Structure 1
Amino acid sequence: MLTQTTSRVLEPSDLEAALAVLNREPVANAFVTSRVQIAGLDPWRLGGEMWGFYEDGMLTSLCYAGANLVPICATPKAVRSFADRARRAGRRCSSVVGPAEAVSQLWRLLEPSWGPAREVRSRQPLMVADRMPVDIAPDPYVRRIRKDEMDTIMPACVAMFTEEVGVSPLAGDGGLLYQARVAELVSAGRSFARVDEHGKVVFKAEIGAATSRACQIQGVWVAPEYRGRGVAAPGMAAVLRYALADVAPLVSLYVNDFNTPARRTYHRVGFQEIGAFMSVLF
């Protein structure tokens, strides 16, 4: 047993203890929890390592180190330990993302060796809804995307990602990993869109991370020519209805604080702020 303050890479046998930490904050930790529930703690299946921080022999904090670096229930002591480990390993991730306080502290420690970042989004409100809005009817034309509609949904997904992140998901490997992720969500029945009579996507969103306690809506996008025409709120209400009925009792998302139209839409649909994320993009 570890009897001092220390950190280590967790092993598959640590799964129960890791899930206990993750379950302390089901909404904020939904992304990592969903991956761990599917893949366990084997780094190859998980797509990265899970670092654990121990105090007096008890696992108290985690950090997922894969394509993203994600501190989880991380105390200030844990953040310092994770930063030391990350510096030694060198940067392998495309972003640092998670609860704003922990990510802010982590980035202060990492920036001298990892910086500069391409972009820092210091406050991204974390929002949650647990019921349908009373004054916004779900768009009846928003539906699940079928497996044979990948050619329909992919251009909208690429446009959303490029607009949101600032780089194309087709760079590097030609988009193979991104296309595989989109196909995974479509196959799982968690990709939704309104498609017009010409086969063009008008609105789209996905339910990304999903556990039995919480899920997370991501990739919300309205075609530019339809913006300002009242498409987003009914579309979000439709996706919220699917999520509450089929996935989890709590539905969350996080949004850039400078995206005033999106924040206004989410509030209209009934999402309430419960905290904030921060993202550091490379």
Structure 2
Amino acid sequence: MLTTPSVRVIAPQELSPVLAVLDEDPVANAFVTARVLDSRLEPPFLGGEMWGHYRQGRLTALCYAGANLVPIQADDEAVLAFAARARAQGRRCSSIVGPVPATARLWSLLEPHWGPAREVRRRQPLLATRSVPPEVAPDPEVRRMRKDEMPLVLPAAVDMFTEEVGISPLDAEDGGLTYQARVAEIVGAGRCFARVEDGRVVFKAEIGAVTPQCCQLQGVWTAPDRRGEGLATRGLATVLRHALTETAPLVSLYANDFNAPALAVYRRLGFTEVGALMSVLF
């Protein structure tokens, strides 16, 4: 048995203790939990490594090291250990994202080696709801997109990503193939919803990570020339009803603290703050 704190890559046989750690905060950890449930921690499907921090032989914290570096339930001792492993391995991720305290500390340790970042978003409210206010009317024109409608969805998805992240996913080294595959996966799973007018998407939102406890909305976007008309409020009311009825008992999302219009929409829809995340973008 291990008697001193240590970090190592977790094996698929440790699925149960990993899920126990993730369940300590099912909303904040939804993205990683969904990835773990889908892959069962099998390396070809996990999309990266899962590092475990052990104290007295017991798993106490995790860090997902894939396209994102994500500290999970990590106290200062665990963050120090994860930072040391990340420095030794070198940066392979495109972002660091996670709860504010652990992510801020992790970035403070990695910035001298990995910095500067392209952008640091120090506080992104994590919001959740279990219902849709009855006074908010859903948009009957918002519907689930079909697999054959990828040519409609992709331009809106690329515009949303570019506006949100600051760079186009099509400028990636693979020409955007990985991004397009992710969009196709969401559409194929029936988790992309949109309002289409005259052959173009004017509003869209996706149900991203899904776990037994909750699901996470992502890719919420309204065409710039249609903003201010209430499309997002009514459209999200439709998506929320689908999500709560068909997917999970709780719906979450996170937003930038400087995006006042989006936060106002989410509050109007009954979302309340349950935590805060931080993102470091490279």
TM bin, normalised by shorter chain, reads over 0.9
Deviation at 1:42?
2.4
Deviation at 1:24?
1.2
Count how many residue pairs are aligned between Structure 1 and Structure 2.
281
- Aligned CA-pair RMSD: 0.7
Q: Identify the residue that residue 76 of structure 1 maps to in structure 2.
A: 76
Deviation at 1:2?
1.7
Q: Identify the residue that residue 242 of structure 2 maps to in structure 1.
A: 242
Q: Identify the residue that residue 128 of structure 1 maps to in structure 2.
A: 128
Q: Give structure 2 stretches of 5+ with no counterpart.
A: none
Query: Any idea what the Cα deviations from partners look like across 1:197-241, whole Å, max 9, x if unmatched?
Result: x11111001011001111100000000110011111011111111
Q: Identify the residue that residue 58 of structure 1 maps to in structure 2.
A: 58
Q: Identify the residue that residue 177 of structure 2 maps to in structure 1.
A: 176
Q: Identify the residue that residue 12 of structure 1 maps to in structure 2.
A: 12
Q: Identify the residue that residue 30 of structure 2 maps to in structure 1.
A: 30
* Separation in structure 2 between the aligned mates of residue 80 and residue 135 of structure 1, nearest angstrom: 48
Query: Any idea what the Cα deviations from partners look like across 1:156-183, whole Å, max 9, x if unmatched?
Result: 0000000000010111211111111011
Q: Identify the residue that residue 190 of structure 2 maps to in structure 1.
A: 189
Deviation at 1:27?
0.5
Q: Match of 1:173, SS? A: coil
Q: Match of 2:228, SS? A: coil
* Separation in structure 2 between the aligned mates of residue 152 and residue 116 of structure 1, nearest angstrom: 36
* Separation in structure 1 between the aligned mates of residue 152 and residue 194 of structure 2, nearest angstrom: 10
* Separation in structure 1 between the aligned mates of residue 274 and residue 39 of structure 2, nearest angstrom: 28
Deviating runs (4+, > 2 A) in structure 1? none
Q: Normalising to structure 2: TM-score of the pair?
A: 0.98
Query: Any idea what the Cα deviations from partners look like across 1:246-270, whole Å, max 9, x if unmatched?
Result: 1100100000000000000000011
Q: Give structure 1 stretches of 5+ with no counterpart.
A: none
Over the matched positions of the two proteins, sequence identity in percent amounts to 64
* Separation in structure 1 between the aligned mates of residue 52 and residue 180 of structure 2, nearest angstrom: 31
Deviation at 1:78?
0.4
* Separation in structure 1 between the aligned mates of residue 96 and residue 202 of structure 2, nearest angstrom: 31
Q: Identify the residue that residue 232 of structure 1 maps to in structure 2.
A: 232
Q: Identify the residue that residue 268 of structure 2 maps to in structure 1.
A: 268
Q: Identify the residue that residue 160 of structure 2 maps to in structure 1.
A: 160
Deviation at 1:23?
1.1
Paired AA for residue 87 in structure 2: R
Checking the alignment, whether the CA contact within 8 Å between 1:43 and 1:50 is kept in structure 2 is: no
